[in-house]
Structure 1
């Protein structure tokens, strides 16, 4: 990997130009982006509008729905419960939900690693019938649990939202608390994430960015979905600075001890012995040949992406308030640039 030696101003300019490949219109929905090295913010900027109707500019304080980046918080919540001695990741689902189909062969580990084989509810035709209903976690689990499995547990990796909804339900059963309250008390409050929430369309959330779709004739407000449907697979909200606090809390073993943190970031193996690139709630891949931890998110009106490079202690996160603008490649390109620049 060839290193480049850019000045701070040059690096900022290059990052600006990477972001503007997807976020160039100041009057369109936009995004917020942050880069940190060794825990210090070296880049933080917002682009576009947080609210088109009110003509409000985006700021780096805006609160976004983070979609599937929620899975990190769900996975860590499960390990908090393991750390407390309340469950084990190798427990079968049937230990907590006795009537769950094949629950004696599907383990919590299978759910965490997307290797359970259970049907992903986002691929079910009947989803449109419940998308705007208020669903309890049990109702959500009942919605998909009797669907035929796609494969036997541990046979393959296949990204799966149902598994994380089921994990959220297990968190509630085992802790005796609502998922929302458990995450707030055990993660948000401990990490000082004061601008992170379980999503709501009813609550007043200061600095909320509004979500948009793009149609052929322009932007429209996002389709409304009940947050009780994605639940523990995709219903949290946060800011770029709160996500940096989350990353620091993980690094500093503030939430989990070192042994449980290692479990999160281990590459696991299928029944065949083949290794796959997912731990518990994070993809474990690489940027420019350097190992990373990454995850994105997509939910009506929003897209999100973050990359962390342990070897260099570099964290790059970006949020978009239009599902027409994905920050995924932009974040990877930003991370690749910062990795190559040793400043």
Structure 2
């Protein structure tokens, strides 16, 4: 009897161990076929062009690239394609600034008036206030005509004149306000203290030591060098205008690819670039803002990120310390909600089921049908903000104040969808009303 009980205990123990091993094996795998089908659906329905990668404990779990690097020439993108990463550049600039602090070339408490005394409140603004967006300095991207001159070269003197002309948004260190000017100024400071170009500093301190061959401050886009152009979807993919890199610099001018970006994030948090004490400073948050990154929550776990947008490009990384997971995304054409792509890939990492998106059937409209919706719409819920509804052929377009232009898709009578930002619009033409539904919230706009 005792022998049978012992055999039973051993058997149960073996089963439990087997289940433990099985579950842990599953948790380290990812359903690549389902993810491939997901990205194929996005590509076929003009939802996404770009590349993603996800790592766990330093091992590549999955990567995928779809779409074209040059749509006009039908040049397919591949794993070597490079994309502009916009404000994701700021994490690199923050790391270079902190590297300079470690080397004794500057201090986080240094005042801005040492370098740029003519900027408002310069004597009260510290280097750390530039890093965590608590300087109150006006952002050059808020200039009313920014979209008109962003494609033309600007000298340092011209950029500084624009920054100086802007009013301070608040007293330094009283709150956070995201300002691209902060990181443009950090770029100039780095170039002055090292007496080198930003690109050379980046190469010396980060890309060469880490062997990141596809990461640098861009110049003009060169598709022959595996650099991608950017697009927006208006009936078909249309090329975006190209910002001149003399403007964003270390605030948003770099190119990279998902593998390089993930290697950088891994090296950063493993203490391979900065010492552990400095890395801890990066993740000291005020109002979810750290030094060159932001705090977020993914699947109930604390994570770090820094999204980036420039022209039609978007980029982001997600680092989840608890599970040592790094997710990176870069896109040169987006007509689908980016957060849904992020969620799908990370759900796959955590063993959750993947849903292949179902694209709503289109509703046929004529150019004349669209005339009833055209105009400028405002709402009492958002001051100084307007949405202009226009058309291009049989495509209805929507553009908010200081926002990019989005195409819509007709899904029913008077009803449209903007895939890139997950918006549904319903018009009531006889009442001059537009109902805007996004993220579970509904806003009523009225035609002027």
| Higher strand proportion (structure 1 or 2) | 2
Matched, 1:36 2:82: no
After TM superposition, list the pairs within 5 Å mapping 1:112-261 onto structure 2: 112-128=131-147, 130-201=149-220, 206-215=225-234, 217-261=235-279
- Secondary structure of 1:141's counterpart equals helix
TM-score (norm: length of structure 1): 0.88
Given that residues 221 and 227 in structure 2 are in contact (C-alpha distance below 8 angstroms), is that contact kept between their aligned partners in structure 1? no
Match of 2:33 in 1: 13
After TM superposition, list the pairs within 5 Å mapping 1:319-334 onto structure 2: 319-325=330-336, 327-334=338-345
TM-score (norm: length of structure 2): 0.69
- Secondary structure of 1:188's counterpart equals helix
Structure 1's 12 and 152: CA in aligned 2 closer, same or farther, altered over 3 A? same
Match of 1:272 in 2: none
Distance 1:309 1:326 in 2: 21
Distance 1:128 1:34 in 2: 31
Alpha-carbon displacement from aligned partner over 1:235-288 (angstroms, at most 9, x marks no partner): 0000111112202221332211111111111113xxxxxxx1111111111111
Alpha-carbon displacement from aligned partner over 1:77-125 (angstroms, at most 9, x marks no partner): 1001100101111211112223322101111111111111111111111
Matched, 1:292 2:269: no
CA RMSD of aligned residues (A): 2.4
After TM superposition, list the pairs within 5 Å mapping 1:268-307 onto structure 2: 268=286, 276-307=287-318
Moved more, 52-61 or 132-141: 132-141
Distance 1:290 1:212 in 2: 34
Shift of 1:324: 4.0
Given that residues 27 and 349 in structure 2 are in contact (C-alpha distance below 8 angstroms), is that contact kept between their aligned partners in structure 1? no
- Secondary structure of 2:297's counterpart equals strand
Structure 1's 201 and 325: CA in aligned 2 closer, same or farther, altered over 3 A? farther
**Larger of the two Rg values belongs to structure:** 2
Distance 1:204 1:25 in 2: 23
| Aligned counterpart for 2:65 among listed residues 46, 50, 67 | 46
Structure 1's 5 and 267: CA in aligned 2 closer, same or farther, altered over 3 A? same
Match of 1:265 in 2: 283
Distance 2:193 2:158 in 1: 17
Distance 1:335 1:202 in 2: 31
Moved more, 242-251 or 61-70: 242-251
Match of 1:75 in 2: 94
Match of 1:101 in 2: 120
Given that residues 26 and 48 in structure 1 are in contact (C-alpha distance below 8 angstroms), is that contact kept between their aligned partners in structure 2? no
Mark the runs of 5 or more structure 2 residues left unpaired by the alignment. Answer: 1-22, 353-448
Q: How many residues align?
A: 330
Alpha-carbon displacement from aligned partner over 1:299-333 (angstroms, at most 9, x marks no partner): 11211121010111100111111254553442244
Given that residues 70 and 229 in structure 2 are in contact (C-alpha distance below 8 angstroms), is that contact kept between their aligned partners in structure 1? yes
